[in-house]
A and B are shown apart, each in its own frame.
Chain A
Amino acid sequence: MDALLKFCEGPLFRLAFVILIAGLLRQAVLIFVPGFIAWRRARDRTIPWGRLGRDLGMWMFPVAHVVRSRQIFSVISYLFHFGLILVPLFYSGHTALWAAGTGITIPTISDGIADILSLITIGGVFLLLLSRMIHPLVRRFVKFEDYFVLVLILIPFISGYAAGRPWNPLSYEAMRLVHVLSGNILLIAIPFTKLSHCIFFPFSRLCAELGSKLALDVNYEYRAP
């Protein structure tokens, strides 16, 4: 058990992390190269950076947007992302592993805050699952992948939260193994599923802008239908 845990936290984690970074880089290249080509062939090469940045900023801090539609869902999903991003990066157990493995020290959040954030994220996953099942409009279009990614997120969060608790049904090591393994799977899955919106999100507006540009190398002369 101990050796297996060491393997999962060491080499397997490194592999998962490399796949994550390489996968995200690949996605970035797949935006930037076609994006650059689209920009090169555009008749109008001006890009409204100000408007794009403003729109992006308004969705990063969507105070005005959240209240406009699907209020409960919006608040839940917004809070859910806090825990999802902050806990894996800044929880003291994780930063200690980073320090041990690479020598890089990262600021940590207190365990109490990490617990609260984790609970919010776990609760958020359940509520998002519920919303996908019961919302009259969402459930008509929901796909297997939408549930799948939520479960992928749920397992490492629950196992991580449960590992050190007295009510943990498994042993600490076993739960920790579940946590590390599922965490590694989640990292690997990010670039290949809709979770890759973490890298697409800042660029989708730019892509829409470039996509609406007309091409220089095309003759647009209209012939009657």
Chain B
Amino acid sequence: MNAATEYWPRLLKPVEDDSLERFVEAMGKVLRDSNYGLPLSVYAQTCTGCMRCSQQCQVFQQSEDLKDTPHYRTEQIIRLYREFFLPSFRGISLKRSSLDEWKEAQADFNLKELIESLYRCTLCRRCTEECPMGIDHRLVARFGRQVLSEMGLVPQNMGGSTVEQIFGIGNTSAFPEAAIIDTLDFLEEDIYDTYGMHCTIPRNRANAEYLILSPVSDYMMEAETLMGIAMVMHSIGCDWTVSTEYCDAINYGLFYDDRVMVTVLDKIVAEAKRLNVKQVIIGECGHATRTAIGYWKSSLNSKGLVVKSILEVTAEAIEKGLIKPDRTKNTSKIVLHDPCNIVRGCGIYKPQREILESCAMGFVEMQPNGRYNYCCGGGGGIVIAEDLHDFRVEVIGKVKADQIVASGAEIVCAPCANCKKMLRELVDHYKIPAEVVGIHDLMAKALAVEKPEGVQPEESSEAA
């Protein structure tokens, strides 16, 4: 194992010496409370060790550290599972050793290395696409992280943001409601000033058709994306709203704890029910889209509520001719980055391409793209861990930087807030002459209208 071992996300609690006992105990609890046991019992007898998964892992490709292979992670978890939890009628051996005996016999088992390995994975699921046997290594990694969370071992950044979102102000960035309202006022003016469109952003409007939930970063760093979404919804002329009370679609639960995931989903559903909307639209965010679309029915009150990605809504509007973006407004060479959670996770592949075709002239594909695309480098919560900056930029994201350079594009476009943050870090670090934007940033430019002379922007009448 090489020097890359120094990368280690800060956890809320230290890993202690008796951790293996606690790990096995927590594993038992997680297995009782979930369905993870079924795939683990099958994987214990399926993997033939062909290593296709590991060869396609972008973390391993760069770090060449065996700990980074999906096979290592899955194998270590399955070793514990096979010894302590596989029902005895499953395997041939009926003997079951005690934990101490096992530790002595399996001296090469290193829990600290396993924990580190679990948090060096971007959960991009590229390895699963490569497995002839269909072994879902991401599922195993998520299981491992769930067990760590059960032990109280949670990375500080994710744990802290989640506590703020669930128990605190109501979003992961602790952005107060007044600031959100201010931002929306400012965005309305900015849309008029920059794009000449009189666009109001309705807030907390009850009984609307659509509730738009964006990641909270869209209200701060990525405001252009939110402006684009507002302009699209306004141009469609539909009855839509945003919420100022609960505005955050981010759901870090996907990365480390199913309980967080369901709790956040429940909050989203509760907000939709409070406003009595018909559809929830998730803004440009990879894991928010994945959790909402993939796990919507797991939130028990969600019956009767439809959830969609904004990409699907915009693409549909373009197809129906409800909005007519002007392609000639975006003439630069644009390359599209496919966020793992949107393409591999939700199977949303065409809508973002239809949008780009309709609003930009110079759209090119990354190679490879679609379900075989590389992760930006910040997946699985790595992008929000400040102490992993060097690791994600120099190791994981290297291949993505190469892809961007190879495409020769002036604009890198990604429909995901996490990806955009990561891609910006890459562009800065490798000094790539490219700008990083969201899809709706380009849409906003393409929907811009001539500002009528001498008309002053009106004050919003929709303010709550």
Contact = CB atoms under 8 A, between A and B. Distances in A.
Given A42-B35, A214-B262, A225 B149 contact: yes
A51 interface: yes
A46 B149 CA distance: 28
Of listed A194, A203, A210, residue having the most chain B CB within 10 A: A194
Contact of B295 (A70, A140, A214): A214
B366 to A, nearest CB: 16
Contacts of B135: 204, 208
B33 A218 contact: yes
Contacts of B163: 224-225
Interface in A3-53: 30-31, 34-35, 38, 41-44, 46, 51
Given A42-B35, A59-B134, A200 B49 contact: no
A214 B69 contact: no
Interface stretch (B186-194, B252-260, B314-322, B354-362): B252-260
B5 interface: no
A102 interface: no
Interface stretch (A90-98, A110-118, A141-149, A171-179): A141-149
A132 B295 CA distance: 40
Contacts of A211: 34-40, 136, 139
A94 to B, nearest CB: 26
B66 interface: yes
Contacts of B455: none
B139 A213 contact: no
Contacts of A207: 38-39, 42
Interface string B125-167: 0001010111110010010000001001010000100110011
A69 B52 contact: yes
Interface in B84-140: 89-90, 92, 128, 130, 132-136, 139
B263 A221 contact: yes
B48 interface: yes
Contact of A143 (B49, B166, B372): B49
Given A225-B149, A225-B154, A200 B347 contact: no
A225 B159 contact: yes
Main secondary structure of the interface of B (DSSP, over half): helix
A167 interface: no
Contacts of B75: 141
B50 A200 contact: no
Interface string A146-157: 100000000000
B45 interface: yes
Interface in A197-225: 197, 200-201, 203-205, 207-208, 210-215, 218, 220-222, 224-225
A139 to B, nearest CB: 10
Contact of A208 (B54, B136, B262): B136
B134 A205 contact: yes
Nearest to A27: B45
Interface string B25-61: 0000000011111111111011111111011100000
Contacts of A51: 347
Given A46-B297, A197-B133, A204-B43, A138 B35 contact: no
Given A55-B134, A204-B133, A69 B45 contact: no
A108 interface: no
Contacts of A143: 49
Given A77-B50, A137-B51, A225-B149, A208 B33 contact: no
Contacts of B142: 212
A135 interface: yes
B109 to A, nearest CB: 14
A177 to B, nearest CB: 27
A204 B38 contact: no
A137 B46 CA distance: 19
Contacts of A59: 132, 134
B58 to A, nearest CB: 12
Given A44-B295, A44-B298, A212 B35 contact: yes
Interface of A: 30-31, 34-35, 38, 41-44, 46, 51, 55-56, 59, 62, 65, 68-70, 73-74, 77, 132, 135, 137-138, 140-143, 146, 192, 194, 196-197, 200-201, 203-205, 207-208, 210-215, 218, 220-222, 224-225
Given A73-B50, A225-B154, 18 more contacts: A30-B89, A44-B295, A44-B297, A59-B134, A142-B49, A196-B45, A197-B133, A200-B45, A201-B134, A204-B39, A207-B42, A211-B34, A211-B37, A212-B136, A213-B298, A214-B34, A222-B257, A222-B263
4 tightest A-B CB contacts, nearest first = A44-B297, A211-B39, A220-B262, A208-B136
8 contacts: A44-B296, A68-B130, A69-B52, A137-B69, A138-B50, A221-B263, A222-B162, A224-B163
